Amino acid sequence: MSAAGQRAEVLIRSLREQGQRVTTGRRAIIEVVAANADLSAEEIVGFVQRDHPEVHSSTVYRTLETLEEAGLVRHLHLGHGPARWQLAADPSYRLACEGCGTVQLVPRVRFDEVRRQVQAEFGFAVAFQHFAMTGRCSACQ
């Protein structure tokens, strides 16, 4: 089984262990998110409906919300436009260029020191996850 498939199985098991039902739609949505980072809800609908055309977009929105409450996925904003969905275990932050729209992944651990300093100075546990860090990439500066 692919790495994405294995990640999906872990999430499905965790969902069931939390007392949630595992339906065809939920399984398909989890597989799509596990295999493709930073898709929008509508893009997820598109992928899911290839194999399961009966799954409605409102189900996808509701399932993503359920999975987020279960701590399995997370949404973030890369800029204007729809939210993007990723696995909660995703180990990267996003640098999103406001010029060309490209998104650069950087290891979260690289910002541990910054987070420590902000905590010490302002008493604030900054997360950098819900919103991408925006700015200009080297090509657009």
Partner DNA sequence: GCACTAGGTGCGAGCTGGTCGCATCTGGGT
Partner DNA sequence: ACCCAGATGCGACCAGCTCGCACCTAGTGC
- Residues near DNA (CB under 7 A): 16, 20-26, 40-42, 52, 54-59, 61-63, 65-66, 81-83
Q: Quote the distance between the C-alpha of residue 20 and its chain's center.
A: 20
- Residue 75 CB, shortest distance to DNA, in Å, is 7
- Residue 76 CB, shortest distance to DNA, in Å, is 11
87-90's contacts with Cβ under 8 Å and 24+ in sequence apart are: 87/7, 87/11, 87/33, 87/34, 87/37, 89/7, 90/37
| 44 vs 60: CA distance, rounded Å | 8
Q: Which residue has the tokens 């929105």?
A: 61
137 binds a copy of itself (CB under 8 A): yes
134 binds, among a copy of itself, DNA, none (CB under 5 to 8 A by kind): a copy of itself
The dihedrals phi and psi of 131, each to the nearest 5 degrees, come to -120, 135
| Selected binder of a copy of itself within 52, 62, 77, 108 (CB under 8 A) | 77
Residue span binding a copy of itself (CB under 8 A) among the ranges 2-10, 14-22, 35-43, 106-114: 106-114
132 binds a copy of itself (CB under 8 A): yes
- Residue 88 CB, shortest distance to a copy of itself, in Å, is 15
Read out DSSP for 74-120? Answer: EEEBSSSSS-EEEETT--EEEEEETTT--EEEEEGGGGHHHHHHHHH
Q: Which residues bind a copy of itself (CB under 8 A)?
A: 77, 79, 95, 97-98, 104, 106, 110, 114, 118, 121-138, 141
